[in-house]
Amino acid sequence: MAGPLAGLKILDMSRILAGPWAGQLLSDLGADVIKIERPRYGDDTRSWGPPYLKDRDGKDTEDAAYFFCANRGKKSVTVDITCLEGQEIIRQLARQSDVLIENYKVGGLANYGLDYHSLSKINPELIYCSITGFGQTGPYANLPGYDFLIQGMGGLMSVTGEPDDSTKETSGPTKVGVAVTDLFTGLYASNAIQAALIERQNSGLGQYIDLALLDVQAATLANQASNYLVGGLVPERLGNAHPNIVPYQAFSTSDGHIIIAVGNDQQFIRLCDALEQSDLANDERFLTNGARVNNRKHLCDIIHQNLKQHGSAQWLEKLKQCNVPCGPINTIDQVFEDPQVLARGMVFSAPESRSGEVKMVASPINYSRSKSDDIKAPQQLGESTDQVLTDYLEYSSLEIDSLRERFII
């Protein structure tokens, strides 16, 4: 069965993570995605290892595991866009495409006549999505922007990590363990693209989308932004605690850590019962969430003292029996061995010519009817170059050989 975006053609000229993440999502939904890469080198993340994909003999291939997280289902086509012939290939593909995604520096593609202004002349219906660190306007527009920098500049690191008064060695600002600003930007991009596609049905015209990592990071500060803009409170680092809900954090037990996520007063009463501390539920310092937030340290100290009496497994079982939201802190291997994750089909294997097959994370989107059942592994560099030039652009084998001899493809 075809995915809901079947029939759409996406020209993905992005690399690393934010743009490729958007392109991968559109591919998961059934779109035909052509990924443009540099001849001989490809996407930067092909070399971001170890670890690397291993072949059938257990030897490293040239493709890092990182590349496989954001490029499934795409056709890899190598084109040198610095050459006139390469630019012409992109123009011909753009003429046939519904969407182009790129994350070059501001004005970078204009040098080659591949900017929105140029391409919209030959394809007025083209939706052109540019992803940069700081957007196309403003004093930072020409600065390079990477996820780590944006997590710091965009406020995320100021609320991630142990408090300043912590005695722990890990005290201080901390980045999130995955590049969430890039990932959020990819998600915003795919949403913006699909909205533009719907709008095009009425106007008959494409349009330009300007997405900035810093804008996205500011937008995804969510409740922390509102705490400042509405409440006048500059949020601080609270470790694993929540700024607006107590108790809602990680707690240590006698042999590890667990998460307790109490979201309302009824759940707090049940937590007190599980801890065999029913009197806490009637203590006016803890009667409401607001009171618990104001008396955070005292309450959490009491909970810590109780949890230290038993191990994590015992507490999780007891808390679940009392219907208190709780859970373990799994390592990555435990995540992909979790029966719920496996039952939801979040791990799948796809054929891969060098290794035989490769395991990947599946898309979390589940439709009742529209589903693309044939998701392919990321391709080797340039694997679809000949096929795309032949089938899409009707290049002859002699023309393709000539382009390859001159390293244009």
Active site annotation includes 182: yes
CB–CB of 315/253 below 8 Å?
yes
Tokens of 39: 């001849």
Rounded to whole angstroms, the Cα distance separating 5 from 162 reads 43
Contacts 24+ apart (CB under 8 A), 252-255: 252/304, 252/307, 252/308, 253/307, 253/308, 253/310, 253/311, 253/312, 253/315, 254/307, 254/308, 254/309, 254/310, 254/311, 255/311, 255/312
CB–CB of 159/237 below 8 Å?
yes
- Interval 148-202: pLDDT, tens: 999 999 999 999 998 886 555 656 899 999 999 999 999 999 999 999 999 999 9
Distance of CA 142 to the CA centre of its chain: 24
pLDDT in tens, the chain (409 residues): 789 999 999 999 999 999 999 999 999 999 999 999 999 999 999 999 999 999 999 999 999 999 999 999 999 999 999 999 999 999 999 999 999 999 999 999 999 999 999 999 999 999 999 999 999 999 999 999 999 999 999 999 999 998 886 555 656 899 999 999 999 999 999 999 999 999 999 999 999 999 999 999 999 999 999 999 999 999 999 999 999 999 999 999 999 999 999 999 999 999 999 999 999 999 999 999 999 999 999 999 999 999 999 999 999 999 999 999 999 999 999 999 999 999 999 999 999 999 999 999 999 999 998 877 778 999 999 999 999 999 999 999 999 999 999 999 9
64 strand-pairing partners: 52
Q: Of 182, 279, 373, 386, which is the active-site residue? A: 182
In the predicted model, what is the mean pLDDT of the chain?
95
The reported pLDDT for the residue numbered 168 is 59
The reported pLDDT for the residue numbered 2 is 83
Exposure b/e, 263-277, CB count within 10 A at least 16 = b: eeeebbbbbbbbbee
Domains and CATH numbers, the chain: 9-219+354-405 (3.40.50.10540), 248-329 (3.30.1540.10)
Helix (H, G, I), strand (E, B), or coil: what is residue 348? strand
